[in-house]
Every structure is written in structure tokens, then in C-alpha cells.
Amino acid sequence: MQRFGAFVLISAFAATLPVAAKPLITSSEETLARLCLAQEEAPERLVEACEEALAAPDLTDDLRADLLVGLGDALSFAGRDEEAVPYFEAAIALVPSSARAHSGRGWSLRAIEDDAAAYEAFGAALEAETTASALAGRAATGRVIGAMSGAEAREYLEAALAIDPDYDWARREIGWSWFDEGGNEEALAVFEDTLARFPADVNAAYGAGRALLRLEEAEDALYYFNLALDGDPEDLGARIMRIIALRLLDRNAQALRDADRLIADHPDLPAGYVQRGLALVALERRSESLETFEAAEAAVEPSNSLLYWHADTLYYDGRYEEALELIRRATTLDGADSSDYLLMAQIALELEDPSVAAEAAETALELNPKDAWGQYYAAVAMVRSGDSGGGRARFDSAMAAGLPQEQVGQFARELIAAGAVSLAVQLRLRYPG
């Protein structure tokens, strides 16, 4: 996570170090303190320097606080944020007005996903001093916990950029705020602007690709995922999204090869197995797809996405009982959403169990009230339960929510099968297509 731009500087500096790094300069306590505060060594070397500097006797409170912040920053840059938090707090105890200490604490708390505490920490930092880092952190965490709208967060981020126009993390965060709100064109514009300023920005390239996928521009999205991987060949998100782009372009053999490499590199993650299974389905190798999903369940921790796609594949293979069992398990795991319950409703209807279908459809609508398919499955379940009139009215809600026109004929067949021929005729008159 970039905070002050220092991580990029440290990374570049570290790349120039000799293989056998020279010992830390220890000619004086003053030199160690300067080394700690300059933050121009590799993170683990900085940790050592700051720890040794803090061991010196007779430090003033201000200097000790600065060294504690330096140690917290070094630990954070080394990915040890949980260890960093107490050092920032110790600095705050010594100098409560230290904006750097509050801000550093905020970024480390954010890294360990304690966003509510991080939000308060950035607020304290801004009370002490208005900095780009604190403004950006307040915006990012406020948006996550619902304390700020996307528009409010963007105001803070724009303010951060007014202070530091080269603060690319803040610029990207504006893009991600648009993306999270479904503003895909706005997000794309921000990510492309970031890349125009910083062509090697891997996260901006990844963001542009994600926005383009939503805009159904898979070819252009693939370009950006490739660009991200040129900068960081091991970027996991870009690797996964590249496979998705390849599948959307019907380049499934290539997607399969990429998925196999992903599994080889990350055998404990479900993503590679999911993408392999879906590529095999597209290649009409369904039995191999099911074998992949079965192997994955033995190889990785239980995963909502893995169970969902396994259940989906079983559903299209006509193995409804097995599919229902899997999707029930999927709904108990992190990541479960309305799509899980929609699939459950589909499967239950195939099993002629309208009560389960109705319950699943209603749960899907609780999670996503505007979902047209949730309304549709609820309508079908009502008709099959003997309430054709209620189902007919519910179908109107589905159409109002954007259900495809071709479902009119299918629902008419449901009404006719239930003996409600007159309602089916009325349906065709209202939705003639």
C-alpha cells in the first residue's frame, strides 16, 4: 500500500543495494537516528536502525516520538502493520499532536482491515495538520465504513491532489470510488489519466481493465491486464482478470493454459480452479470441468465462488440434487450474495419444489431488491404453488425491473400448465413483443 510515496523510493533504493549489504553505520547514535528518520534504506534495515536509535539514553520526547514513527513506518513498509501500530501509539502518547503518528497509525490499521479505527486515526491526523496522506486515508476508510459517500470521499481525494499533484494513490482511489458506484466510464477516465502521468502504474492498468470488462470491451481490457502484468508478472488480480477476459473473447484454450499456470503457482487458492473449470465448460469438456471442481474442493479451503460454479455446472449437467446441496453450502460462506439464492431458486424449480424456490427468490430480493430474475422465480414459484393470479402480478414486477422479453413466452407456458389459460392470453396481449 502506498502512503506517502516513500515505498516507491525505498523499493527503488533497495534495488540498487549490493547482494551482501554493508553493516549499518554505527559510528554514532546521531547517525543511527538520521538513518531511521531519512527512511532511505530497505525496510528491514530501517527497522534495525530505528530500534538501535531508540535504545540510546536521554532522548527528548520529540526525538523519541519521531523515531517511534520512523520504526512504525519501517515496519509498515515491510508488511508488518500489526507490529507497527503500537509504535505509532507510543509516539502519540509522547506527542499527541503528531500528525505523522496519527496518520501512520491510520494506514497500518487500514492495512489490517480495522477501517473504523483507521478512520478515527486519520481524523485525529487532520486535526493536527492538513496533509495529503491524512485526507486520502480519511476518504478511503470513510467510504468503506459508510461514513462518507463516494462524492464526499472524492472531495477529500481531490483536496489531497491539490496538495500533492503527484499523489497517484489518491488519484487511483478516485477511480476505484467511481468503479464501486458503477461509474465505469468515469473510473476508466481516471485510470487512463493516471497511466498518462505514471505509465508504469500497475494498479491503474488493472483498474482500467476492470472498468473495460464491465463496459463489455474485453479486447481493450485484455490490453490493460497485459500491461499490468508487464509491470508485475505475479500480480494475482491481473492474472485472474486476464483469464476472464480471454474467456469472454472465446479464447478458452489460452484461458485454460493460464488457469493451469495459476493453479501451479497458487494451488491453495480457488480462483485458478474456478477459471479452469469455466474454460473447460466453454470448450465443451464438461466432465473434465466437474473433475476440476471436485479436485479443488479437496485442495483448497471452502470457497463460495468455487461451490457456486461447481453447483452451476452440475445444474446444467442435470444433476439437480447435487447442485442444490452445493449451493446450500455456498450460501453459508463469506461472499454469498443474491446470485447464490437465484441459482438455488432455479435448481429448486427444476426439482419441482416451489416452496424452496420461493424462499430462495425472496432472499435474493432482500439482498438485491431490483433484481428482475428474483421477481421472475418468485412469480413461477407462486404459479406452481397454485396462486396463478399472484404469480401473474409478480411477473409484472419482473418485467418492470427489466426481465428480458423472451421470458414472456416461458411464463405463459407456466400459466397454461397451471390451467390459467385466460391469464396467459392476457399476458401475451400486454407484452406482445
DSSP code per residue over 132-161: HHHHHHHHHHHHHHTSS-HHHHHHHHHHHH
- Domain containing residue 115: 1-129
> How much is the pTM?
0.84
- How confident is the model at residue 29, as a pLDDT? 54
Let me know if residue 198 belongs to a domain.
no
Amino acid at position 388, single letter: S
Let me know if residue 52 belongs to a domain.
yes
**Inter-residue contact 313 to 286 (CB < 8 Å):** yes
Let me know if residue 158 belongs to a domain.
no
Q: Name the CA radius of gyration of the chain, rounded.
A: 27
User: What is the rounded CA–CA span in Å between residue 177 and residue 186?
Assistant: 10
> Half-sphere exposure (CA, 13 Å, Cβ side) for 424?
16
User: What is the rounded CA–CA span in Å between residue 280 and residue 286?
Assistant: 6
Let me know if residue 6 belongs to a domain.
yes
The dihedral sign for the CA sequence 113, 119, 120, 125 = positive
The burial of 308, by beta-carbon neighbours within 10 Å (0-12 exposed, 13-18 middle, 19 or more buried), is given as buried
- How confident is the model at residue 389, as a pLDDT? 96
Look up cell 476440476; give the residue: 292
CA proximity to 409, closest of 399, 362, 370? 399
How does DSSP classify residue 319? -
DSSP code per residue over 21-50: PPPPP-S-HHHHHHHHHHT-S-HHHHHHHH
- How confident is the model at residue 19, as a pLDDT? 39
**Inter-residue contact 191 to 178 (CB < 8 Å):** no
CATH number at residue 119: 1.25.40.10
Let me know if residue 57 belongs to a domain.
yes
Q: At what angle do helices 218-231 and 236-248 cross, to 10 degrees?
A: 150
- How confident is the model at residue 409, as a pLDDT? 95
How does DSSP classify residue 353? -
- How confident is the model at residue 30, as a pLDDT? 63
CA proximity to 198, closest of 5, 337, 59, 68? 5
- How confident is the model at residue 371, as a pLDDT? 96
DSSP code per residue over 157-175: HHHHHHH-TT-HHHHHHHH
Contacts of 359 (CB under 8 A, 6+ apart): none
Listed as own residue / partner, the contacts of 379-384 with beta carbons closer than 8 Å and 24 or more positions apart are 379/411, 380/349, 380/354, 380/411, 380/414, 381/345, 381/348, 381/349, 381/354, 381/355, 381/357, 382/354, 382/358, 383/411, 383/414, 383/415, 383/418, 383/420, 384/349, 384/352, 384/354, 384/357, 384/414, 384/418
User: How many domains in the chain?
Assistant: 1
How does DSSP classify residue 208? H
Let me know if residue 226 belongs to a domain.
no
Contacts of 351 (CB under 8 A, 6+ apart): 320, 321, 324
Count of C-beta atoms within a 10 Å radius of residue 26: 11
Let me know if residue 16 belongs to a domain.
yes
Per-residue pLDDT of the chain (433 residues; tens, 9 = 90+): 444 443 333 333 333 333 334 444 444 556 788 889 988 889 899 999 999 999 988 899 999 999 999 999 999 999 999 999 999 999 999 999 999 999 999 999 999 999 999 999 999 999 999 999 999 999 999 999 999 999 999 999 999 999 999 999 999 999 999 999 999 999 999 999 999 999 999 999 999 999 999 999 999 999 999 999 999 999 999 999 999 999 999 999 999 999 999 999 999 999 999 999 999 999 999 999 999 999 999 999 999 999 999 999 999 999 999 999 999 999 999 999 999 999 999 999 999 999 999 999 999 999 999 999 999 999 999 999 999 999 999 999 999 999 999 999 999 999 999 999 999 999 989 999 7
Let me know if residue 48 belongs to a domain.
yes
